[in-house]
Chain A
Protein backbone atom coordinates (compact mmCIF):
# COMPACT_ATOMS: atom_id res chain seq x y z
CA UNK A 1 0.00 0.00 0.00
CA UNK A 2 0.87 3.65 -0.20
CA UNK A 3 3.30 5.07 2.35
CA UNK A 4 3.05 8.29 4.30
CA UNK A 5 5.98 9.45 6.39
CA UNK A 6 6.24 12.06 9.12
CA UNK A 7 9.25 13.91 10.41
CA UNK A 8 10.26 14.14 13.14
CA UNK A 9 8.85 11.15 14.96
CA UNK A 10 9.48 12.81 18.30
CA UNK A 11 10.25 16.37 19.27
CA UNK A 12 10.71 18.17 22.55
CA UNK A 13 10.62 21.94 22.55
CA UNK A 14 10.50 24.73 25.05
CA UNK A 15 7.38 26.71 25.75
CA UNK A 16 7.06 29.69 23.42
CA UNK A 17 9.00 28.20 20.53
CA UNK A 18 7.61 26.96 17.22
CA UNK A 19 7.80 23.45 15.84
CA UNK A 20 7.36 22.27 12.28
CA UNK A 21 6.12 18.77 11.45
CA UNK A 22 6.39 17.39 7.93
CA UNK A 23 4.05 14.90 6.27
CA UNK A 24 5.12 13.30 3.00
CA UNK A 25 3.45 10.90 0.63
CA UNK A 26 6.32 8.75 -0.59
CA UNK A 27 4.94 6.90 -3.58
CA UNK A 28 1.83 8.78 -4.62
CA UNK A 29 0.57 12.29 -5.12
CA UNK A 30 -1.77 13.45 -2.40
CA UNK A 31 -4.32 16.01 -3.47
CA UNK A 32 -5.67 16.17 0.07
CA UNK A 33 -3.95 15.73 3.40
CA UNK A 34 -5.47 15.75 6.86
CA UNK A 35 -3.99 16.66 10.23
CA UNK A 36 -5.19 15.02 13.43
CA UNK A 37 -4.29 15.42 17.08
CA UNK A 38 -4.56 12.66 19.63
CA UNK A 39 -4.23 13.08 23.39
CA UNK A 40 -3.34 10.07 25.56
CA UNK A 41 -6.11 7.47 25.82
CA UNK A 42 -8.32 9.52 23.50
CA UNK A 43 -9.45 9.25 19.92
CA UNK A 44 -8.13 11.16 16.94
CA UNK A 45 -9.48 14.67 16.50
CA UNK A 46 -9.39 16.18 13.04
CA UNK A 47 -7.68 19.56 13.09
CA UNK A 48 -7.69 20.60 9.45
CA UNK A 49 -7.98 19.53 5.85
CA UNK A 50 -5.16 20.59 3.57
CA UNK A 51 -5.55 20.83 -0.19
CA UNK A 52 -2.55 21.32 -2.41
CA UNK A 53 -2.20 24.90 -3.55
CA UNK A 54 -5.00 26.32 -1.45
CA UNK A 55 -5.67 27.36 2.12
CA UNK A 56 -6.38 24.72 4.69
CA UNK A 57 -9.85 24.25 6.11
CA UNK A 58 -9.78 24.19 9.89
CA UNK A 59 -12.23 22.39 12.15
CA UNK A 60 -14.24 24.37 14.62
CA UNK A 61 -12.21 25.34 17.66
CA UNK A 62 -8.81 24.93 16.00
CA UNK A 63 -6.83 28.17 15.89
CA UNK A 64 -5.55 28.66 12.37
CA UNK A 65 -2.97 31.24 13.48
CA UNK A 66 -1.53 28.82 15.98
CA UNK A 67 -1.49 25.74 13.79
CA UNK A 68 -0.14 26.85 10.43
CA UNK A 69 -0.60 24.39 7.58
CA UNK A 70 1.14 24.57 4.25
CA UNK A 71 0.52 22.11 1.41
CA UNK A 72 2.92 23.44 -1.19
CA UNK A 73 3.28 20.32 -3.27
CA UNK A 74 1.42 17.12 -4.01
CA UNK A 75 3.75 15.15 -1.75
CA UNK A 76 4.35 17.47 1.21
CA UNK A 77 2.25 19.15 3.84
CA UNK A 78 3.65 20.85 6.92
CA UNK A 79 2.08 21.69 10.27
CA UNK A 80 3.75 24.40 12.32
CA UNK A 81 2.76 24.74 15.95
CA UNK A 82 3.54 28.34 16.79
CA UNK A 83 4.32 29.60 20.28
CA UNK A 84 3.87 26.12 21.66
CA UNK A 85 2.64 25.62 25.22
CA UNK A 86 2.57 22.48 27.39
CA UNK A 87 -1.11 21.94 26.55
CA UNK A 88 -0.09 21.51 22.90
CA UNK A 89 1.81 18.37 23.85
CA UNK A 90 0.13 15.61 21.89
CA UNK A 91 0.47 12.99 19.18
CA UNK A 92 0.06 14.63 15.77
CA UNK A 93 -0.89 12.39 12.86
CA UNK A 94 -1.32 13.18 9.20
CA UNK A 95 -3.14 11.24 6.53
CA UNK A 96 -3.42 11.49 2.79
CA UNK A 97 -5.58 10.25 -0.02
CA UNK A 98 -4.39 9.80 -3.54
CA UNK A 99 -7.47 10.86 -5.40
CA UNK A 100 -10.80 12.57 -4.80
CA UNK A 101 -13.33 10.34 -3.07
CA UNK A 102 -10.74 7.63 -2.54
CA UNK A 103 -12.09 5.08 -0.12
CA UNK A 104 -8.80 4.66 1.73
CA UNK A 105 -6.74 7.15 3.64
CA UNK A 106 -3.12 6.44 4.37
CA UNK A 107 -1.85 7.54 7.75
CA UNK A 108 1.60 8.59 8.81
CA UNK A 109 3.27 7.06 11.87
CA UNK A 110 2.65 10.16 13.96
CA UNK A 111 4.80 12.79 15.69
CA UNK A 112 4.99 12.92 19.47
CA UNK A 113 5.32 16.57 20.55
CA UNK A 114 6.32 17.40 24.10
CA UNK A 115 6.41 21.04 25.16
CA UNK A 116 8.32 21.73 28.36
Chain B
Protein backbone atom coordinates (compact mmCIF):
# COMPACT_ATOMS: atom_id res chain seq x y z
CA UNK B 1 0.00 0.00 0.00
CA UNK B 2 1.06 3.55 -0.69
CA UNK B 3 2.83 4.99 2.34
CA UNK B 4 2.90 8.53 3.67
CA UNK B 5 4.64 9.79 6.80
CA UNK B 6 3.41 12.59 9.01
CA UNK B 7 4.38 13.92 12.45
CA UNK B 8 2.31 12.28 15.18
CA UNK B 9 1.19 15.55 16.69
CA UNK B 10 1.39 19.32 16.33
CA UNK B 11 0.19 22.30 18.29
CA UNK B 12 -0.80 25.72 17.09
CA UNK B 13 -2.21 28.86 18.59
CA UNK B 14 -5.71 29.89 17.72
CA UNK B 15 -6.04 32.36 14.84
CA UNK B 16 -2.56 31.60 13.56
CA UNK B 17 -1.64 29.69 10.38
CA UNK B 18 -0.85 26.00 10.61
CA UNK B 19 1.42 24.07 8.27
CA UNK B 20 0.94 20.30 8.36
CA UNK B 21 3.69 18.41 6.51
CA UNK B 22 3.49 15.08 4.73
CA UNK B 23 6.17 12.99 3.05
CA UNK B 24 5.23 10.69 0.19
CA UNK B 25 8.57 9.79 -1.33
CA UNK B 26 7.23 6.74 -3.20
CA UNK B 27 4.49 8.60 -4.97
CA UNK B 28 3.93 7.64 -8.60
CA UNK B 29 3.13 9.96 -11.44
CA UNK B 30 -0.59 9.20 -11.37
CA UNK B 31 -1.09 9.31 -7.59
CA UNK B 32 -3.05 12.18 -6.17
CA UNK B 33 -2.46 13.57 -2.68
CA UNK B 34 -5.61 13.68 -0.59
CA UNK B 35 -6.13 15.16 2.84
CA UNK B 36 -8.91 14.16 5.18
CA UNK B 37 -9.46 15.13 8.77
CA UNK B 38 -11.29 13.42 11.60
CA UNK B 39 -12.82 15.39 14.43
CA UNK B 40 -13.23 13.59 17.75
CA UNK B 41 -15.80 10.78 17.68
CA UNK B 42 -16.77 11.50 14.06
CA UNK B 43 -16.10 10.03 10.65
CA UNK B 44 -13.40 11.62 8.51
CA UNK B 45 -14.18 14.48 6.17
CA UNK B 46 -12.54 15.47 2.92
CA UNK B 47 -10.32 18.53 3.07
CA UNK B 48 -8.49 18.92 -0.22
CA UNK B 49 -6.59 17.05 -2.92
CA UNK B 50 -4.06 17.82 -5.62
CA UNK B 51 -1.71 16.35 -8.21
CA UNK B 52 1.05 18.83 -9.05
CA UNK B 53 -0.13 22.40 -8.71
CA UNK B 54 -0.91 24.10 -5.44
CA UNK B 55 -4.61 24.04 -4.63
CA UNK B 56 -6.89 26.27 -2.62
CA UNK B 57 -10.42 25.81 -1.36
CA UNK B 58 -12.59 27.27 1.38
CA UNK B 59 -11.09 24.98 4.01
CA UNK B 60 -7.39 25.00 3.28
CA UNK B 61 -4.52 25.26 0.82
CA UNK B 62 -2.31 22.46 -0.39
CA UNK B 63 1.27 23.17 -1.37
CA UNK B 64 2.95 20.37 -3.32
CA UNK B 65 6.70 20.18 -3.71
CA UNK B 66 8.07 20.33 -7.23
CA UNK B 67 9.34 16.73 -7.01
CA UNK B 68 5.97 15.71 -5.47
CA UNK B 69 7.72 13.80 -2.68
CA UNK B 70 6.18 16.01 -0.03
CA UNK B 71 3.29 18.34 0.50
CA UNK B 72 1.98 20.73 3.13
CA UNK B 73 -1.57 21.35 4.19
CA UNK B 74 -2.06 24.95 5.21
CA UNK B 75 -4.83 26.17 7.48
CA UNK B 76 -4.65 29.92 7.13
CA UNK B 77 -6.23 30.85 10.43
CA UNK B 78 -6.75 27.99 12.84
CA UNK B 79 -9.82 27.90 15.05
CA UNK B 80 -10.64 25.58 17.92
CA UNK B 81 -12.90 23.66 15.54
CA UNK B 82 -9.87 22.70 13.47
CA UNK B 83 -8.59 20.46 16.26
CA UNK B 84 -8.59 17.03 14.64
CA UNK B 85 -6.44 14.24 13.26
CA UNK B 86 -5.30 15.13 9.74
CA UNK B 87 -4.56 12.33 7.31
CA UNK B 88 -2.46 12.65 4.17
CA UNK B 89 -3.21 9.88 1.68
CA UNK B 90 -1.75 8.84 -1.65
CA UNK B 91 -4.34 7.53 -4.00
CA UNK B 92 -4.15 6.49 -7.64
CA UNK B 93 -6.19 8.49 -10.08
CA UNK B 94 -7.63 5.48 -11.81
CA UNK B 95 -9.06 2.20 -10.69
CA UNK B 96 -8.93 1.45 -7.02
CA UNK B 97 -10.86 4.01 -4.97
CA UNK B 98 -9.99 2.80 -1.51
CA UNK B 99 -8.29 5.14 0.92
CA UNK B 100 -5.43 3.78 3.01
CA UNK B 101 -5.14 5.77 6.20
CA UNK B 102 -1.82 6.21 7.97
CA UNK B 103 -1.44 7.37 11.54
CA UNK B 104 -2.09 11.02 10.72
CA UNK B 105 -1.19 14.16 12.66
CA UNK B 106 -3.15 15.08 15.75
CA UNK B 107 -3.52 18.85 15.68
CA UNK B 108 -4.15 20.64 18.97
CA UNK B 109 -5.26 24.26 18.89
CA UNK B 110 -4.29 26.36 21.88
CA UNK B 111 -6.79 29.09 22.80
Q: List A residues at the B interface (Cβ < 8 Å).
A: 1, 4, 32, 34, 36, 43-46, 49, 91, 93-95, 97, 100-110, 112
The smallest beta-carbon distance between A95 and chain B, in angstroms, is 7
Measured as residues with beta carbon below 8 angstroms from the partner, the interface class of chain B is 20 to 34
CB of B43 within 8 A of CB of A109, answer yes
Known: A49-B98, A101-B94, A110-B41. A43 touches B87 (CB 8 A): yes
Query: Do A109 and B32 touch across chains, with their CB atoms under 8 A apart?
Result: no
Rounded to whole angstroms, the CA-CA distance of A46 and B99 in the bound complex is: 8
Contact between B104 and A43, CB atoms less than 8 A apart: yes
> Is A109's CB under 8 angstroms from B46's CB?
no
Question: Which of B32, B41, B42, B98 touches A34 (beta carbons < 8 Å)?
Answer: B98
- Is B100 part of the contact surface with A, judged by Cβ < 8 Å? yes
Which B residues are closer than 8 A to A by beta carbons?
Answer: 32, 34, 38, 41-46, 49, 87, 93-95, 97-104
Among B93, B97, B103, max chain A CB count under 10 A is at B97
- A4–B43 Cα gap in the complex (Å)? 10
Q: Which chain B residues lie closer than 8 Å to A106 at the CB level?
A: 46
In the bound complex, residues from chain B placing their C-beta under 8 Å from that of A49 are 97-98
Closest to B42 in A: A109
Contact present for B43 and A46 (CB under 8 Å) = no
Tell me the complex Cα distance, A97–B98, Å: 10
Q: Nearest chain-B residue to A94 (Cβ)?
A: B43
Out of A36, A94, A102, A109, which one reaches B97, CB within 8 Å? A102
Is A108 a contact of B43 with CB atoms below 8 Å? yes
B residues near A107, Cβ cutoff 8 Å: 43-45
A44 to B87, CA, bound (A): 10
Contacts A103-B32, A103-B34, A104-B46; A43 near B97 (Cβ below 8 A):
no
11 cross-chain CB contacts under 8 A: A4-B43, A34-B98, A43-B102, A44-B44, A46-B100, A95-B43, A97-B97, A101-B94, A101-B97, A104-B49, A109-B43
